[in-house]
Structure formats: C-alpha cells, structure tokens
Structure 1
Amino acid sequence: MMRSSTATRLPLDRPARSLTGRGRTLGVALALGALLVSGATMAVAAPAVAATGDITCPSTDCVRIAPAAGAPVAIAPVDADTAYLAYSGGDLLKLDLATGTLTGITTGLGNLRGVAVADGNAYITAFDGTLQQVSLATGARRTLAAGLPSLFGVARFGTTTYVTDGNGEIVAVPDGGTARVVATGLGFSYGLAFDKAGLAYTADMGQGRILQTNVATGATRVLASESYEPTSISVGGDGLVYFMVGDEVKRVNATTGVQSHVANLRGINGFSFSLAASGDAYMAGGAGDGLWRISGLTSR
C-alpha cells in the first residue's frame, strides 16, 4: 500500500519568485529525498572522458529566449516552436520558443515538480503526491492519482504515465488504471526519461548514480557513478543518456557503459536541462532570470 505525505510549499520558482542558485536548489532536493536507499544490481564500465569546449552564456550557443519566464521547476519542449513550463506556485504556461511569448494554460495546480507532454495533454507531478492531467487546448484538468509520496519526475510511455517519488520508487499510472510501484531502491531522482525500448532512466542525486530500470520487471542497473550529485536526466535522439554534474553536461552509452564529457556550462546558474528532439537543451537560469536555449547540445 502506498503511503501519503503532507505537502510542504517550498520557495522554488514561479514567474514572480526567484531561484537563488544551484547550491540552495540541490540542498532542497536532497532534503526532500532524505530516505535514499540503494537498490542497483550491476555496475558497468569505467567512464572514458574526452573533453570538448565550454559553452558560455550568453553567446551564440547559449541564448536567453524568455527573460520573463522566471524560474520554472520543469520544462517540456515539444517541438521547434513550443515548450511548456511548470512552476512551484501551481502555474502551467505555454512558451513560444521563437518570440519568448508566454501564455497561461491554467493555474492553481499545487506545488508542482515535474511536467511531461503527450497527445495534447500535460502530465504534472506535485509535492503533495498528486498526478494531474491537463488539456493543453482547454486547461481542463483531472486527477490521475493522489495520496502518493511526494512526486517529482514524470514521463509518458505508451498509455502509461510514470513518476518518481520521494521514497526512491518509480510508480506507474496506466490510463484508466490504478497507481502501482514498479521499481524501488532508486534513491532521489528529480527527473525521469525513457528510451525507445521502454527502459527508464533516473539520476540518483544522493548516491551519484545514473540508473537504468526495466519497468516491466523492476530490474535496475548502474550506468554511471559520480562523486557529485547528478541532476537532470534526458535521452537524446542519438539514444545516449544525458545528465548534469555540477556545471558539466555528460552522457553515457546505455549499451556499453562508456561515459563522456559533453561541455561545461559557464555563466548560467542552472539546476537541470531538458532536451528537445532537435538536440537543443532548455534550462532555467538562477535568480529567476528566465529560460535559456543551448543550441545543438547533443551534436557536441
């Protein structure tokens, strides 16, 4: 049986509220994941790192595209034109990536933590253990699951929504079905991503692990181990798994376990990034200074 948790509103991002920096954000995230536990069963090859150049913000490679966006807690780029932004104050906004124009979809969604977009809907996690579905066309909402532990990462695969929670679990919520735990022992991961084969990826901030999980069996293996907290987790169009460690973007081949350096991000105090299908990455800057686009990250 799943346990409920009491919602606590944290001073993390909305358009009128600032994110004061990576150190504070990581501290908050780790505090939320206090009950970290180990559950990985297999480690893969040692990393092989080949450095490329830094990315400096602002520059031609890193442009602030939406200064008025404040500091969203989650970003879901859906195509070359549009991204959706979720804020801890309960707002869901649509962002025109070409013009930087923000349009409200709905508000009052709670203390939000994650957003994923599929089939004309946004799927949104909240710290009070609620998973909601919001129509992007009308703003109409419905609750898919409630009374769960605090929820963070969210992703869709097929007809199921998957979330990470504060108990180190992945929870599956099938369309029209009941929430159930499909994997445990994953530590604290703020994000969640899937590859085309349906394998899930999480970044355990507490123990510095990048994990691959088969959600059909619950089997988990360690793809990479870090000395510092990995934050964001994304699967690129190239099939590689991308994440951040401090200011460094790294990637790991989930088949071979080979890990490589992508770039260091300079001049922006961001917590995590979201990859678009184009290979561009989107990141909220520190101190509520809006949204940044890092061009061609996966091609570096």
Structure 2
Amino acid sequence: MDSMVRSRTATRLPLDRPARSLTRRGRTLGVALALGALLASGATMTLAGPAVAATGDIKCPSTECARIAPAAGSPVAIASDNAGALYLAYSGGDLLKLDLATGAFSTVTTGLGNLRGVAVADGSAYITNFDGVLQQVTLATGSRRTLASGLPSLFGVARFGTTTYVTDGNGEIVAVPDGGSSRVVATGLGFSYGLAFDKAGLAYTADMGQGRILQTNVTTGATRVLASENYEPTSISVDGNSLVYFLVGDEVKRVNPATGAQSHVANIVGLNIFSFSLTASGEAYTSGGSGDGLWRLSGLTSR
C-alpha cells in the first residue's frame, strides 16, 4: 500500500451537523471557513437560499420538491441503490437504510467511525472515513471489511468496474482495486467532497477551494477543467447522458463535458442543502438541514 500522510486532527461529530451559513459574497473568507471546518474538524455546512422563488426555481415543498421522510439526524452522504432504497451515512458512524416505498428506516450497521461518503453497488456500500479508512459493508447482513487504511482523510467515493475510487484531503484520487493495494491515480485536484464517474470511466470532482469542475482520466491521471469561477461547488453527479450536475449555494448547475457549455438548472428555494445525490432515474435526494428531514427533487435532468 502506498505510503501516505494520515490526518492527525480527526474529530468525531454529533449525529446532527452544525448549522453554518455562508453567503456567496466574500469568496476568500468563505472558502477559508469552509475548508478549515471540513478538513480540520470534519464539519459540514449549510448555505442559505433566497427568500423568494423566481421563475423556474424549485420551491420546497412542492410537487418538484417533496419531503419523503421525517428527521433522522443529518446524514453526511446519501446513496441510492436504484432499486427502491436510500442509504444514509452519518458522521457518528451509523449506516441507515430508507425504504422509499414504505418510508421505514432500518439500521444496516453502526460503529463505522467518522464517516464522510457512501456509494452503493452490487449489494455493498463503500464508505469513506475522515480517519483515512475505506470500508465495504454487505447491505444484506451489515458485515464489514476494511479495504484500505492509513490514508489521508477521505471524502468522496465511487465505484467503477471492480475498483473503488476515493478523494482525499491532499487533493488526490486514490484507486483501491478489489483484492489489490491502494494507489494514487491523480493529484492536484484541490478539495472535493464528492466523486462521480460517467459511462466511459472518466471521473468528475468539484474543487471547492478554486471553484473548478474537473474531469480526470484515472488511467493516465490527466485532468482538465470543465468549468471554473463557481463559488464552493459541491454535489458532483453525472446523469445517463454524461452531463455533469453540481451545486453552488442553492443553485443547481450543469456542464456538458463534450462542449464545455455550462448552464443554470434551478435554484432550490426553502431548504438549506449542502449536497444532493442524483440517481440513475434522474431524481435527486437531499437532507434539508439539521432536523428538516429527507427530500426528493424531481425533474432536474429534464430541465
């Protein structure tokens, strides 16, 4: 396993994340506060939305933004199995399942550590830990195993083929192949809380510090900037047409990797959200802030 520097400042957070409000002005101060909180203490943020909905906005609650479950703490990451269930990871170490048909919560397992990201594939959840640990949890049984440890603080996670990829606090993408050792496949990516792949195996990250949306070839390590000058972008997702979605404050934006064209999708009004999880069906799921429950955003990819 590659030798990497491990974070010495991991701090376990309570189940509910603290409410933090940052405006879109004051870029330098906002980035410093955001990255300082996320890297030093592992805290997450909420960003205040506008008070009045404009034409084309998604207002919550509405038919396009529906509350699907009551408060269940504030998950740091949400992933869909694309088969009727959501999986929620919490900074306190719990992994919960939400049955979308019944609205019932169940506990998959607990004690996973200081969690940051979750991806679901082939009956397993792949979970990143602020303490530099990547774990695999079998969803049917809750059993777990460690895929990699001793890494820098880990955040985003995604599966492609038989390899798990993660983003770390050093601005790297690390590949952990099934049955193999971890290795760094890309560097210089800044700080990204998320990670997503398109059908061709290209990786996408959102650099919160420099406001960049990046595309990386994880085979060669080559990276190019798709979009820039975005204030603290989060929530990187790729739809079935390989269009890339991300969140800037309360605004959902989209970029076409083939053309570089960037466009406004919608403002989300009425919720303080830090990120959303876009599913294969085009629906997105988000936590509405501390104690505000779970919400479904419909129709983003058809706008």
Q: TM-score, normalised by structure 1?
A: 0.89
Secondary structure of residue in 2 paired with 1:30: helix
User: What CA deviation, in whole Å up to 9, does each residue of 1:153-190 have, x standing for no partner?
Assistant: 00000000000000000000000000000000000000
| Count of residue correspondences | 281
Gaps of 5+ in 2: 24-29, 41-53
Secondary structure of residue in 2 paired with 1:23: coil
Residue in structure 1 matching 2:124, options 102, 121, 124: 121
Residue in structure 1 matching 2:35, options 30, 44, 49: 30
User: What CA deviation, in whole Å up to 9, does each residue of 1:91-110 have, x standing for no partner?
Assistant: 00111113321110000000
Please give the alpha-carbon distance, in whole angstroms, between the structure 2 residues aligned to 1:83 and 1:275. 11
Q: Higher relative CO (CA 8 A, sep ≥ 6), structure 1 or 2? A: 1
Secondary structure of residue in 1 paired with 2:171: coil
- 1:62 is aligned to 65
Q: Cα gap change, 1:18/1:217 in structure 2, threshold over 3 Å: closer, same or farther?
A: closer
User: What CA deviation, in whole Å up to 9, does each residue of 1:231-279 have, x standing for no partner?
Assistant: 1100012210000011100000011100110000000000011101111
| Aligned ranges 1:281-300 → 2 under 5 Å | 281-300=284-303
User: What CA deviation, in whole Å up to 9, does each residue of 1:18-57 have, x standing for no partner?
Assistant: 44145399777511458xxxxxxxxxxxxxxxx9700001
Please give the alpha-carbon distance, in whole angstroms, between the structure 2 residues aligned to 1:174 and 1:29. 31
Please give the alpha-carbon distance, in whole angstroms, between the structure 2 residues aligned to 1:169 and 1:188. 9
- 2:5 is aligned to 3
Q: CA deviation at 1:62?
A: 0.4
Please give the alpha-carbon distance, in whole angstroms, between the structure 2 residues aligned to 1:141 and 1:10. 20
| Aligned ranges 1:145-294 → 2 under 5 Å | 145-294=148-297
User: What CA deviation, in whole Å up to 9, does each residue of 1:184-206 have, x standing for no partner?
Assistant: 00000000000000000000000
Q: Is the 8 A contact 1:70 1:291 kept in 2?
A: no
2:4 maps to amino acid: M
Please give the alpha-carbon distance, in whole angstroms, between the structure 1 residues aligned to 2:289 and 2:220. 39
Q: CA deviation at 1:6?
A: 2.4
Please give the alpha-carbon distance, in whole angstroms, between the structure 1 residues aligned to 2:196 and 2:230. 22
Q: CA deviation at 1:3?
A: 1.5
Q: CA deviation at 1:289?
A: 1.3
Q: Cα gap change, 1:224/1:78 in structure 2, threshold over 3 Å: closer, same or farther?
A: same
Secondary structure of residue in 2 paired with 1:298: helix
Please give the alpha-carbon distance, in whole angstroms, between the structure 2 residues aligned to 1:213 and 1:248. 24
Q: CA deviation at 1:60?
A: 1.1
Q: Is the 8 A contact 1:274 1:282 kept in 2?
A: yes
Q: Is the 8 A contact 1:21 1:286 kept in 2?
A: no
Gaps of 5+ in 1: 35-50
Please give the alpha-carbon distance, in whole angstroms, between the structure 2 residues aligned to 1:181 and 1:61. 40
Please give the alpha-carbon distance, in whole angstroms, between the structure 2 residues aligned to 1:22 and 1:130. 29
Q: TM-score, normalised by structure 2?
A: 0.88
Q: Is the 8 A contact 1:130 1:143 kept in 2?
A: yes
